[in-house]
Amino acid sequence: MPKEVIVLGGGVYGANIAKGLFDAATAAGKTLDLHVTLVTSRDDFLFPPVNIRNSVDDVASWYIRPYDKIFASKPSAGKVVKGTAVAIDKTAKTVRLETGASLRYDFLVIATGQIWSAPNNPPNDHDAVLRYFADLRAKISAAKSVVVIGGGSVGTELAAEIKDHYGDAKRVTLVHSERLPLTDAYVDKFRNKVRALGEELGVEFIFDARGEDRGDGTVLVTPNGGKAQQEVLAADAVFVCLSPAPNAAFAPPEWRDAAGRVRVRDTLQVHGDDAVFAAGDVNSVPETKQAAKAAKAVATVIANVTALAAGDTNARLRTYGPGMEAIALSLGTKKAIGVVPLPFFGPTLLPGFVVRKIKGPDLFSSKAIQAVGY
């Protein structure tokens, strides 16, 4: 009887892990006896970095794909279950879904990501997703003034996309609690360049302050130093792009840290259970959470699950650890900037033409959707 692997989450990490395990089990000449079940709440795979572009320009055809092809080459070795995990019984080795269904596992991979706000919180059903982004585009189109609260990568790219698309027709203000865009995970030289490119587009920045959407067409801006210099911004549209929360409330409390993330060792196995792994945004690895980090984490989980499933007790499991931070930002269709760590040189800026070349005209979508067989 094949070993049952359940992968929770059909995003970038979950879909790639499920596809990789399926490919390992079904490859010609392989004797690995696995069955893979991918549990996802969505009808479709989405590549979140493109949600931002899709909020101003209809590019749904680039990156929204059903899961119908992910296990199509051998349906007996894998299946997709639409559902949401609500509880895990670590003793019985079962996952309970919101439907009441219970799924048994030999190995479990948690890749449920984080809980975001717009534009990264679309609904689950296919038609509803398309309506969600159409409504976002209509909301932005109708607005004369837009305020983005939170200047991480999502907020910064969203503000830039709106200004790039609409130019002087929109006033776009970004309110960020730090002194520069993004966080101090990145060098000031890079962050200052991001600011300069945003200002070239016409984005207005308010730093060292926090924004509060008051729900009445205004945003209350409070400087970090106190309330003495508060100001109120008019806003036809407000987007709150603050740090998301890990999507792990269904996991046993002893598996989670104080921030709610699933605690893992360097093998990405959960503390206290060798048969359970957690990958991506949901786990406790101290790093900036990005889709771009998926390749190494995915390879780590696939290698370790296949080694354990094959019964190789002497296998040296692969390890994963945070490295120096890198990022590539698309600031609309014409501007981009990145930073990567290079040996001997340290953090090195990537000019816009290099970032655009790496991401391609579809922002890496054609590569991303290969996770589900497209």
> Going residue by residue through the chain (374 aa), what tens digit of pLDDT does each one get?
899 999 999 999 999 999 999 999 999 777 789 999 999 999 999 999 999 999 999 999 999 999 999 999 999 999 999 999 999 999 999 999 999 999 999 999 999 999 999 899 999 999 999 999 999 999 999 999 999 999 999 999 999 999 999 999 999 999 999 999 999 999 999 999 999 999 999 999 999 999 999 999 999 999 998 877 899 999 999 999 999 999 999 999 999 999 999 999 999 999 999 999 999 999 999 999 999 899 999 999 999 999 999 988 778 999 999 878 999 999 999 999 999 999 989 999 999 999 999 999 999 999 999 999 99
Which CATH number is 3-41+83-116+244-309's, of 3.50.50.60, 3.30.56.10, 3.40.718.10, 3.30.930.10? 3.50.50.60
Domains 3-41+83-116+244-309 and 141-241+324-362 share a fold: yes
Q: What is the pLDDT of residue 226?
A: 80
Contacts of 228 (CB under 8 A, 6+ apart): none
Interior CA angle at 64 toward 107 and 12, to 5°?
35
What pLDDT score was predicted for residue 32?
A: 86
* Tokens standing for residue 295: 């390749």
> 207, exposed or middle or buried, with CB in 10 Å at 0-12, 13-18, 19+?
middle
Strand 273-278 relative to strand 269-270, pairing: antiparallel
Residue partners of 330: CB distance under 8 A and separation at least 6: 53, 157, 160, 161, 336, 355, 356, 359, 363
Q: Is the peptide bond before 244 cis (omega within 30 degrees of 0)?
A: no
Domain extents in the chain: 3-41+83-116+244-309, 141-241+324-362
DSSP letter string over 347-369? EEEEPHHHHHHHHTTTTTHHHHG
In this structure, how many other beta carbons lie within 10 angstroms of the beta carbon of residue 94?
16
pLDDT at 353: 96
Indicate the fold that domain 141-241+324-362 takes in CATH.
Answer: FAD/NAD(P)-binding domain (3.50.50)
pTM of the predicted structure, to 2 decimals:
0.96
State the Cα–Cα distance between residues 56 and 62, nearest whole angstrom: 14
Q: How many other C-beta atoms are found inside a 10 Å radius of the C-beta of residue 234? A: 12
